[in-house]
Amino acid sequence: MVHGDLASCLTMGVEAKLEALAVGGAERLTATVVHVTRLAQGGMGTVDLCVRRAGSFERLYAIKRPHSHLRADAAARAMFLDEARIAGGLRHANVVPVLDFGEDDDGPYMVMDYIEGVSLSRVMQHHAAGDAIPTTLAIAMIAQVARGLHAAHELVAPDGALLALVHRDVSPPNILVGRDGSVRVTDFGISKALGSASHTTTGLLKGKAGYMSPEQLRFEAIDRRSDLFAVGIVMFELLTTERLYCGDDAAAVARRILDEPVPDIGDRRPELPPELVELSFRLLAKHRDDRPATAAEVADALDAIGAETSVDIARYVEARFGADLEREREHVQALLSGLAASPRYGRRKDANDRLRTSTFWTRGRAPKRMDVVFTAALAVPVIASALWPEAPEGQGGAFDVLTFAADWSTPNAIHWTWQVSGDVADFHAWEIQLARSAAALDTGEGLLVFDGTRNPELHRFLLRNTTGEEPVDGTITDGLEPSSDYYARLFVLDTAGGRSKSTNVAVKHTGPVPTVGLAIYTDTFDAGVVLPSCYVASETAPYRGTAHYQLENHCDARGDARCSDQAVVTPALLCWENLQWQGMSLPIPQPFGPSQFADAYVEVAVAVDTSSASSETEGHGWWSNVRLRAAGKLWWYEKLTIRADGNYRVYQLPLARFGLDATSLGTTIEGLDIGSAWAEGSVIRVDEAWIRW
C-alpha cells in the first residue's frame, strides 16, 4: 500500500469492523461525525474534539488541522503530510496514533485517538511548589517515553528500509500521561525521516531551544541520539521540577547547552540511585557517541533501576488529577447530551447552522471527503485537560514574563508592551486584565479583560506585514475613561493549559478630554479628498452622522488587484488595500508646539465586515497601519490590528508614535491612509477621522 492511500488504508482498517454491527450484514451502517468542542489552539493550528456515532456505537476522536492561513504554505503543508505519514505508520502503546488522514474543502486533517489525561508539563507544574515527584514514578514515566521513541526510531518504510526517524521535539508538552496509566509521545509535526517531503531550511532550527542537542544547535546531521539528549533534559526536569536550560532568549539558551558542563542531578537530588545519576550524565553528554545507542537501552536501564518497586501510574493520575479529569469528563458528556438532543444532529449544514456533520464511512466504500468543521494543530498536545477552563496561574506556565509596562496613553486608550521568554510552539494566547486599582485586580471588581475576541492580535505570537513577520509584543486596551488610573497584568496562556503572568502590576493614567481638533473627514467637511473609483459614499450605519466612505475589496479570482491603491500579497484572494484621503491642505490650528504635539493623537473610526468575504479574515494574521501625510512625506504607525466584526471601533494613536516631531510635522496635513490585508468581498468603512489635542 503506498503512502498516498493512507486515509483509506487506516480508515477501512479501523472502521470496517463496524460492519458486523449491521443487522444480518444486510443494512448499511452510516456513521455521523459531529464537532463537539475546541480542545486547544496553537501557533500552527487547532485540535478539536469530535464524536462518531453509528447506532449505539459512540467514540471520541481528536481532529488535527493546520490554520487556514497555512494551508497554502508549501512548507507547512509538507510538515503536516509528513506527520500523518510517519505517525500513521506507528503502532505502539506509548505513541499517540494517527488513525486516519484526508483532505476536504477546508484543507488537510488527521484523525487521532482522544487521550484522557494530562501532559507531562502539567505534571511538572503540579509538583513545582516543592512537592517532589516520587523517583520510581518518574523512572516509570521516562521508561515509557523511551519505549515509544524506540518504536519511532525503528519505523521502517513499506519496502522494509529503516526511515531513520528523529522526533526533534521531545519535550514535556509533547508527552501525555493517560488516565489509563500509559505515557505516550505525540506531535511528530517536525520529525525528520529519510524520504520526508519537508526540508529544513539552512540556518533554521526546528524544535524548542531548551531541548535541542548540541549537534542540532551546530546544524550538524542528527540521529536518534539527539532525541535521547532531549529525554535526558525531560528526565532531569521531571525529577527536579525545574527547567534545566532556560534563558532570556534562544541564543542564550543555546550557549548554555553548548558551553556549560553537564549538570549533576545528584546535586539537586542527593537521594537518587547512583545508577540513575550515571544515566543522566550519559543522556546529557555533549558528544553523541557518549550517550546510549538506542532508546531501548535507556528504557532497559530505567526498568532495571526501578525493578524492585511496583509503580501504578494510573493510580497516581487518579489521585493527583482525578477530580479535574472527572469534571472534564462530565463537561464532555454534557456537550454530547446537548448534541444528541439537538434537532440539527445528523443532517447537513444549512445557512443557519453552526454545526456541520457528514457521512464518515459507509459500508463497501472508501471514506468520503469530510465536510466537517474539524480544525486541529501542528503543535498542540491532544489532552482532555485542555477542555477545563480553570488553568493554574503564575510563573508555572511555559513562559517567563520578563517585562510588562505601559507604553503610552490617550484619553480612551492605553498601549501596553511586554517581553517574554519561551517557545512559540507552546504559545496559545495573550490576555490583559485591567482594573481601577491594584486590589481590584485580585478581587475582580470592575475587571476588564482583553483577549483575542476583542483584540485579534492576542491570539497570535507573530503577525505578518508586507516585509515579513513581527512578534506580538504589545496591544491597545481601548474604551477607557479619560483622566483615570488603570492597573494591568499580563497573562500568557500555553498549549498545556498553563497561565504565566507578569510578576508586576503596571499602571498608567489616561489623558484628559481634548479641547482642540482638526477634522480630516466628517459628514459635513469636504477637504477636496481624492479617492480611487472603488470607493463609494454610503449611508449604511455610519459611526456618527449620516454617511461615511466605504470600500469593498476588489481582488479578482486570480488574486489580481483592480484598484490603484491595492497590492497583491498572496494568491489566496488577499489584497493589501489602503483607504486614502489625498490632495489635502489642512492648516494645523496654532499655536501648535512641542507641548501641544505631546498630547496630540490621530483618531479614526473604522469598521470591517467580513461576513461576505471569500475566506476567513477575523484575526487573519496581518498587521494594519495608519499613515499620516505631512511635509511631503508619509509617517507611519505600523503595528495595529483592526477587528473584523462589522462594528465600528475608534482608534486613538499618538502623533509621537508616527516617527515625527512637532517640527517635522510642518503646518498642514496632506492626507491620511489606513492599510491592511482583507479578503475578497470584505467591506471596509471609515468615518470621523481627526487629529485631537
Question: Could you tell me if 630 and 665 are in contact, meaning their C-beta atoms sit under 8 angstroms apart?
Answer: yes
In single-letter form, the type of residue at position 83 comes to: E
In single-letter form, the type of residue at position 312 comes to: D
Q: On the CB side of 404, how many CA atoms lie within 13 Å of its CA?
A: 23
Residue 665 makes CB contacts below 8 A (sequence gap 6+) with 588, 592, 597, 630, 631, 655
- Rounded to a whole number, what is the largest CA-CA distance in the chain? 92
Measure Cα distances from 506 to 134, 418, 558 in Å: 39, 11, 48
Question: Could you tell me if 32 and 346 are in contact, meaning their C-beta atoms sit under 8 angstroms apart?
Answer: yes
Residue 261 makes CB contacts below 8 A (sequence gap 6+) with none
Of the candidates 455, 389, 462, the one whose C-alpha atom is nearest the C-alpha of residue 427 is 462
Residues paired with residue 626 on neighbouring β-strands, in sequence order: 637, 674
Q: Active site residue: 100, 169, 426, 687, which one?
A: 169
CA 571 to chain CA centroid, Å, is 24
Q: What is the DSSP letter of 457?
A: G
In single-letter form, the type of residue at position 2 comes to: V
Span between the terminal Cα atoms of the chain, in Å: 71
Q: At what angle do helices 274-283 and 295-305 cross, to 10 degrees?
A: 170
Measure Cα distances from 600 to 383, 510, 514, 660, 691 in Å: 50, 13, 9, 12, 7
Q: Residue written as cell 444528541? A: 340
> Distance between CA atoms of 113 and 383, rounded to whole angstroms?
10
> How many other C-beta atoms are found inside a 10 Å radius of the C-beta of residue 405?
16
Q: Kindly provide the b/e burial profile for residues 43-80, where b requires at least 16 CB atoms within 10 angstroms of the residue's own CB.
A: bbbbbbbbbbbbeeeeebbbbbbbbbbbbeeeebbebb
Cα-trace Rg, the chain: 28
- For the chain, how many residues are written? 693
169 is catalytic: yes
- β 485-494/427-435 pair status: antiparallel
> Distance between CA atoms of 458 and 453, rounded to whole angstroms?
8
Question: Could you tell me if 64 and 40 are in contact, meaning their C-beta atoms sit under 8 angstroms apart?
Answer: no
> Distance between CA atoms of 592 and 202, rounded to whole angstroms?
53
Residue 553 makes CB contacts below 8 A (sequence gap 6+) with 575, 577, 613, 678, 679, 680, 681, 682, 683, 684
Question: Could you tell me if 285 and 225 are in contact, meaning their C-beta atoms sit under 8 angstroms apart?
Answer: no
Q: Could you list the active site residues?
A: 169
